[in-house]
Every structure is written in C-alpha cells, then in structure tokens.
Structure 1
C-alpha cells in the first residue's frame, strides 16, 4: 500500500450518471478459452454503442499487450491480472460507462474480489454500489478443444503450455452467475439478446 497519499473526492456517481445520461456497470464474462467470451462481448459492445450508450470492452489477450505485459500465467500472476482488471473496470463503470470484461478469470475468489470492489462506497457516501453482472459462458471442455482457434489446447496437451486452464490448471465455474450462456447451444445474436433483456429488466440501461 502506498503511503503519503490522499484521496481526492470527485463528482458523485448520481451526478455523473445524470450528466452522461446513463448508468455505469461492469459485465464480467468468464469461461474457458474458446468458449466464445470475446465474440459475445464484442457483439454486445457493438450493440450497446449502436443504442447510443457508452461501452468499452477489456479483453484478456489485449490487456496483456500493455497494462499486464509484466505478468505470467502462474496462479499468483493470474490473481494479479484479475485484480488489476477489476480496478480498471471499476474506474470505467464509475465514469458511467458500461464496461465489458472478457477474461477466463478461473478462480472464484478472484471474481468475488472483483464483485466486492464494485460494491465498495464511491466518492460520495450516497453513491449506490456499481452493478456487477457475472456472465458465465459455459462450454464443454471437449467442444472448446475442438474449436481451439488459437491452437492453445493442442499445445497444452503436448506440454508446451504449462498452467493452462482446463488442462493443467483448474477452472472454478461460477455457482450463481447473473447470466448463464451455453455457447455451444446459443448463437451470438441470441446471447446478446439474453444479456440485453437482463439489463433492461434490472433497469441498468438508463441513468440511476
């Protein structure tokens, strides 16, 4: 923890939501590699932007080219990877942006830490918690392996990639996600409709 620092208050979330005419939240996509997380998240981001809403997608691979390029894939590095992304997602959501994160995020504890971070108080004591919507993109391992668009499962089976989720490292599936998408049975278009319906029913698409 840094020392000799002071928190500088900003606008309240309700003020920022009012000015930007929308509410910020994080939609957290989790699932095995090749489950379709990024494909669905990209389609959802595009749909939200077409609706005139501010949205931004944080992708697992893309973030490792910059912010997290110093991290590996051992458990400690994976923990730190998700911690940083959770902090960034919270900042985007606090700015009244709909944030979409597409990360394997294999450990339940890390995802719960991300959720708890969004529930923390804002700059103003009257701020409501930032909504955190966990989307579990479920797929049987054998289907993910058959897809294997990047050839990662093949390399993992050959022992060329250590600590690979689903093969040599665990994936702890969400027990009670807000949204469950069986991507091997659901089209991308239907997945986007399913998420949009949930957001609309919860009143997340307007200002608070």
Structure 2
C-alpha cells in the first residue's frame, strides 16, 4: 500500500520549517512521498497578507523542486472556497483507494484538533503525524503520531514582515522562493 504524507497550509510563503518537518516525517514514517497542499481559504485563519493562489502555488512548487519525493497537491485550490480537511481527504481516498494518508500537522494544529470539522471521522480516515512547535502543547485526546523534528520558531507572518521591510530572507526560505518574491514584488518586497 502506498503511504502518502499531506502537509497542508497557506504556504504564504513556504519556508524551511515546512520543508524540514515534511522531510523528517517522510523518513520517520517511511512514506513514499509528501504532498504540499496549499489551501484556498483556511477555516481557522484570517487572511491577513493573503496573496493570489497562483503565487502561493508557484512558490510552493519552487520550494520543493529539488526533492523528488515532494509533490504539489492542488485539490483544495482547484475546489476553491473554504478548505475543510475532511472533504479533501474523502476526495483523495475516493481517487486513490489503495493509499494510506498521513496528515502532517504542527503542534499549533494539534491543540486545535477539537475544533476541526468532523474530527472523529477524520481521525479514522488518516493518521495524524504531529511535529513539535515552540510555544505549543502536543497533548490531545486524538490519536497523533509524534515525530521528532528540529524545533524551528519560524512563521510565514514574520517572513512577510521581513520581506516588506526588505530584510534578509536568506536561509529562512529556499533561494528560488526569495527570488520569486522579489521579482513579483510580493509582500511589498523590492
């Protein structure tokens, strides 16, 4: 049976924390691949600093291009509207009945699991693979397989602020993503 990790998020922009978490889970669980899945409209976030889906897709594609085990999953962008994980996983399971899915979440989302739509059903459909994040607890009543990863205190919000202030993004984002941000003037970067 094929084992696929799914890392969802706004990827606004995708940063090294996303890449490290995906890589650590990939190897710890012997997954066949990890799919980076930008969402259209996250149900749990205000869209401050939100940019066009096309830019987030392209940045995500650039961020993962050097790893053949990382793929881009566009199902939520294509569906548009609010992205509920339960709807996405039902569709993926229908499309790929011979695949086991592992949904990768940070500790901030582990804390938020009780608020997810149809969480009891979702926890039966997927294996949650959780990674620690500074300042968040990994305690939950739901089944989560915790994966040891380097804990990096990095957020896309902080990176957008750095871009707007024309501060360095080196080593925080993959170089092709930095170039894309500059070339397209995203987040006020010059």
Q: Same fold (TM over 0.5)?
A: no
- TM-score, normalised to structure 2, is 0.37
Between Structure 1 and Structure 2, whose CA radius of gyration is higher?
Answer: 1
- TM-score, normalised to structure 1, is 0.35
Write 1 or 2 for the structure with the bigger share of strand. Answer: 2
Structure scoring higher RCO (CA < 8 A, sep ≥ 6) equals: 1
